[in-house]
């Protein structure tokens, strides 16, 4: 089983960053809440 790196778009600056980032490396926006919302959405 291959592990794929998921990418998410920063809600603050719009840059595409790895989903494993806690804060956006481009603008420093904290992305934990946004990522958690995505995880909660997938759980439905």
pTM of the shown model: 0.56
Alpha-carbon span 35 to 22, nearest angstrom: 9
* Per-residue model confidence as pLDDT tens digits over 1-40: 567 888 999 989 999 999 888 899 999 998 766 556 666 6
């Amino acid at each position: 089983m291959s592990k794929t790196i998921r990418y998410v778009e920063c809600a603050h600056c719009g840059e595409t960053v790895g989903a494993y980032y806690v804060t956006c490396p481009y603008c420093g926006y904290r992305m934990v809440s946004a990522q958690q919302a995505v995880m909660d959405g997938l759980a439905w």
